[in-house]
Amino acid sequence: MGLMEKIVSLCKRRGFIFPSSEIYGGIGSVYDYGHYGVLLKNNVKQLWWQANVLKREEVVGLDSAVILHPRVWQASGHVSSFTDPLVECKECHQRYRADYLLEGKYGDIKTIDGKPRCPACGGELTEEKKFNLMFKTYIGAVENTASAAYLRPETAQGIFVNFKTIMITNSQKIPFGIAQIGKAFRNEITPGNFTFRTREFEQMEIEFFVEPGTDEKWHKYWLDERIKWYQKLGIKKDNLRLRQHTKKELSHYSKDTYDVEYQFPWGWGELEGIANRTDFDLKEHQKYSGRDLTYFDETTKKTYIPYVIEPSAGADRATLAFLIDSYYEDGKRIVLQLHPQLAPIKVAIFPLVANKPDLIRVAKKIYEMLRTQLVVAFDDRGNIGKRYYAQDEIGTPWCVTIDYDTLKDNTVTVRDRDTTKQERVKAEALIAYFNEKLKTL
Ligand SMILES: [Zn+2]
């Protein structure tokens, strides 16, 4: 089994991530997160929020709506430019991205007279047409063009349209940023690679507003900050790189973009795009809305439309990268060596044997004490080896066992996930012990 199959299988087996609407046969490239998956992804989002909002005076938060005024997407260029070149097989009606066909992303394909043929059946393909990736919907009871709206394809525009309100209500001065975590939707032609490319996904975005001329300096700053964040949470250095977009790749709004890429089992893939969006968005929204979106600098007495640096990360992609990077096999043992801050469960508590009321009573007491402060689990099923095995697979950094010595001297064993070494600790000191460990990481 390849690494990716092992990850998908573990995610399903332990209920991290599984195909959506599975009892109906699933729905293409849409996934649900089960208990441990939600805990893990919430930790990813929380740690991002902590690093980028709570620890910075100059960044504030926002939670804007999924459905915006349709004019927003005209101003942003999404209605005209957010398209992929689409071709369809005339025989089997499979759809493909024309650029991917040429780049060989569907593997080696047959060509006739220099024209690519269908990778699935070898059939003839239609002429290329522009396919807009936005999901269309209708507002209110009438389905007509006047009531058409879109599910947001990025959270960024919710930030741009609120730029002035947020700046004023938070008394922000440039440079400052607005951050948002939320769902976005793109009707991808060919999604795939598990949760890497899906039609519904979650973004973690910052729009950082700066004075024109200082944009390149701030761009470098954010590249550095964002790479450090992934490394700090345990992604191996060799599996991360920064890649600059070629001129051809650049989005319509961008002056310069770098991708933070992770070495996935199928090759390098984007975790996060960090773009210099210039004043494109605010300028367009000023034009389309007729509202003044300029900024007045009180010290220099200059008025300008700010430039924007945008670190835009995928919460699902980061979660997937953390899962892959932490996967480790040690003989029969399968371990997710997740950074403890990311681990869904921090501590599991076991009575040494299941049918001893004395042990269970004390173990429950310790469990109740720890759960006031940490996300913990209690397990008294099967033998202790099996319980360790289960916790290793979901990445629990520490297991606490209550045994007969606990009844005598109130000490417990703490077993470390990565080293499997055990240590004897006083039960009443456990909260301080784990908080200290989590703090120093
Ligand atoms: Zn075909």
Calculate how far, in angstroms, residue 95's C-alpha sits from the geometric centre of ligand 1: 8
Calculate how far, in angstroms, residue 109's C-alpha sits from the geometric centre of ligand 1: 12
Calculate how far, in angstroms, residue 338's C-alpha sits from the geometric centre of ligand 1: 42
Residue with the larger pLDDT of the pair 109 and 388: 388
Mean pLDDT of 193-212: 96
Judge whether residue 143 has pLDDT over 80: no
Calculate how far, in angstroms, residue 121's C-alpha sits from the geometric centre of ligand 1: 4
Sign of CA dihedral 336, 341, 343, 345: positive
DSSP per-residue string spanning 249-282: T--TT-SEEEEEEEEETTEEEEEEEEEEEETHHH
> Containing H/E element for 344?
none
Calculate how far, in angstroms, residue 305's C-alpha sits from the geometric centre of ligand 1: 49
Q: Which two tokens stand for residue 432?
A: 């301080």
Name residues whose C-beta falls within 8 Å of residue 337's C-beta, 6 or more positions apart in sequence. 234, 326, 327, 328, 395, 417, 418
Name residues whose C-beta falls within 8 Å of residue 401's C-beta, 6 or more positions apart in sequence. 350, 351, 352, 384, 412, 413, 415
Whether the Cβ atoms of residue 313 and residue 272 lie closer than 8 Å to each other: yes
Mean pLDDT of 284-309: 96
Select from 192, 202, 155 the least CA-distant residue to 269. 192
For ligand 1, a single-atom ion, the residues with CB < 5 A are 89, 91-92, 118, 120-121, 123
Calculate how far, in angstroms, residue 67's C-alpha sits from the geometric centre of ligand 1: 36
Calculate how far, in angstroms, residue 102's C-alpha sits from the geometric centre of ligand 1: 16
Calculate how far, in angstroms, residue 96's C-alpha sits from the geometric centre of ligand 1: 10
Calculate how far, in angstroms, residue 94's C-alpha sits from the geometric centre of ligand 1: 6
Cα dist. 231→15, 227, 262, 320 in Å? 26, 6, 11, 15
Q: What's the pLDDT tens digit per position in 57-108?
A: 999 999 999 999 999 999 999 999 899 999 999 999 999 999 888 888 888 8
Whether the Cβ atoms of residue 117 and residue 111 lie closer than 8 Å to each other: yes
Calculate how far, in angstroms, residue 91's C-alpha sits from the geometric centre of ligand 1: 5
Calculate how far, in angstroms, residue 418's C-alpha sits from the geometric centre of ligand 1: 49
Pairing of strands 111-112, 115-116: antiparallel
Calculate how far, in angstroms, residue 111's C-alpha sits from the geometric centre of ligand 1: 13
Calculate how far, in angstroms, residue 130's C-alpha sits from the geometric centre of ligand 1: 19
The pLDDT of residue 440 is: 62
The predicted model scores a pTM of 0.93
Q: Which domains does the chain have, with CATH numbers?
A: 3-68+163-326 (3.30.930.10), 85-132 (no CATH), 345-439 (3.40.50.800)
* Interatomic CA distance for residues 306 and 292, integer angstroms: 12
Calculate how far, in angstroms, residue 90's C-alpha sits from the geometric centre of ligand 1: 7
CB count within 10 Å of CB 63 equals: 9
Mean pLDDT of 407-413: 97
Q: What's the pLDDT tens digit per position in 303-341?
A: 999 999 999 999 999 999 999 999 999 888 999 999 999
Calculate how far, in angstroms, residue 132's C-alpha sits from the geometric centre of ligand 1: 22
Whether the Cβ atoms of residue 26 and residue 19 lie closer than 8 Å to each other: yes
Calculate how far, in angstroms, residue 84's C-alpha sits from the geometric centre of ligand 1: 19
Task: Please state the three-class secondary structure of 132-178 as a single string.
Answer: ECCCEEECCCCCCHHHEEEECCCCHHHHHHCHHHHHHHCCCCCCEEE
* Interatomic CA distance for residues 4 and 266, integer angstroms: 8
- What type of residue sits at position 48? W
Calculate how far, in angstroms, residue 24's C-alpha sits from the geometric centre of ligand 1: 26
Calculate how far, in angstroms, residue 125's C-alpha sits from the geometric centre of ligand 1: 8
Calculate how far, in angstroms, residue 196's C-alpha sits from the geometric centre of ligand 1: 25
The pLDDT of residue 142 is: 78
Judge whether residue 441 has pLDDT over 70: no
* Interatomic CA distance for residues 361 and 119, integer angstroms: 62
Calculate how far, in angstroms, residue 190's C-alpha sits from the geometric centre of ligand 1: 14
Residues 43, 48, 49, 50: what is their CA dihedral angle, to the nearest 10 degrees?
A: 90
- Write down the residue that tokens 């997937």 correspond to: 320
